[in-house]
Structure 1
Amino acid sequence: MTLGTRDALLQRAEYLIRTRGYSAFSYADLAESSGIRKASVHHHFPKKEDLAALLVSRYIANFTSTLAAIKRADTQAQARLIAYAQLFLDGFENGMLPLCGALSAERSALPESLRATVCAFFDLHLNWLADVVREGVAAGELTDAIGIDRVALLLLSTLEGGSFVGWALQKTDPVLSAFHDVLATLSTSRQELARP
């Protein structure tokens, strides 16, 4: 199935944001990489802010559906967290950073409306992680020695940071290695094994 022009532009813009950054690509770049005239880009998206706002809102909607699917697919918190972590490898082989990380790195260059959306995107991550961790603690799978919200922040920070390190080194290992170490530390089964 062939993408319509508008969807093709959104797909191409996502790639450019995740590889170059929001402020580092122009409509001329988008037109050239999409094989259409710059005027056509402006026809579909009069302002770059309009294009980015629609792109991020669609991305968030898809991401929310993916998170719901992860919860339906697995009942154990650790399995859910591992499936979530795998999302950070999405696009990595094509040299793309996670969208929210790429946008947040340029926060000062973003229009005000996008800044709020990026904050909401991170809140979505943190709230979902906190829910999964809370359920894992209730089931006896995970420990919350530092508090559920701090565990959620630690997991997200580890994955976002690992993505940037992996991107800089052009290696996939750093993306998930620290995350797996943190998850092992939070696991109650590991604590039980360590007891005398």
Structure 2
Amino acid sequence: MNKNKNTAEVILDTAQSIVQEHGFNGFSYAHIAKQVGIRTASIHYYFPNKEDLGEALIERYHRNFISFIAQIDAETGNNLEKLRKFILLYSDPVKHYCTCMGVMLSTDLASLSGKTQEGIAQLFSSNLEWLKRVLDQGRSEGHLNFTGSTDVLAHQFLASLQGAQLLARSFRDQNRFHMIAEGLISALI
């Protein structure tokens, strides 16, 4: 176990990795315990049941997303560059033929707690709100060229990236993700 991280964070890191590869219903606490090198009772100490773990996973993932987009906003004022950096967030899981937490948790939505389901919806809402803002600003400032509703385009952009992750994973071909991502950007310039 990494001595620089507390046990709860190591458990969450491990669970996130497993979820992004196998889904929320594709593992048990025994899988986490084996990878981390602890007993399942230790996991239950931090997360009494799997619902608690799911809620903690989506809350942390959402917080990290908010931090990531804040960093993008701080690093550049160019909205086209912001979208390129946003795509990098979605391309990271593709390197391991996984998908983002939101996509994987959504596939198990019916079996998740109400709080986890709400967390997923909030995560997607945050994605869409940020995308709409960037698209609006980009069009106003002349960085982006498109017609129609920014709300519709934000939904299409997010859905395309999520679908691109699934295609890359299914075909075990990262180029499929990159082809779709490049198409999204090309359509805006």
Deviation at 1:49, TM superposition (A): 1.2
Q: 1:183 is matched with which residue: 154, 163, 185?
A: 185
Q: 2:23 is matched with which residue: 14, 21, 24?
A: 21
Letter in 2 for 1:182: L
Distance, in Å, in 2 between the alignment partners of 1:90 and 1:53 is 23
Distance, in Å, in 1 between the alignment partners of 2:126 and 2:94 is 21
Aligned length: 187
Deviation at 1:95, TM superposition (A): 3.3
Distance, in Å, in 2 between the alignment partners of 1:182 and 1:40 is 45
Q: 2:99 is matched with which residue: 94, 97, 100?
A: 97
Residues 1:61 and 2:56 aligned together: no
Counterpart position of 1:86: 88
Q: 1:5 is matched with which residue: 7, 16, 39?
A: 7
**Percent of aligned positions with the same letter in both sequences?**
26
Pairing of 1:144-155 with structure 2 (within 5 A): 144-155=146-157
Structure 1: runs of 5 or more not aligned: 188-196
Distance, in Å, in 1 between the alignment partners of 2:181 and 2:152 is 14
Residues 1:121 and 2:123 aligned together: yes
Which structure would you say has the larger Rg?
Answer: 1
Distance, in Å, in 2 between the alignment partners of 1:93 and 1:140 is 33
Counterpart position of 2:145: 143
Contact 2:24/2:108, CA 8 A, preserved across alignment: yes
Distance, in Å, in 2 between the alignment partners of 1:74 and 1:140 is 15
Residues 1:41 and 2:43 aligned together: yes
1:71-103 CA deviation, whole Å, 9 max, x = no partner?
111111111000000111223323321111111
1:30-82 CA deviation, whole Å, 9 max, x = no partner?
11121111111111110111112112111211111110111111111111000
Structure 2: runs of 5 or more not aligned: none
Distance, in Å, in 2 between the alignment partners of 1:176 and 1:50 is 35
The normalised TM-score by structure 2 is 0.93
* Structure showing greater relative contact order (alpha-carbon pairs closer than 8 Å, 6 or more residues apart): 2
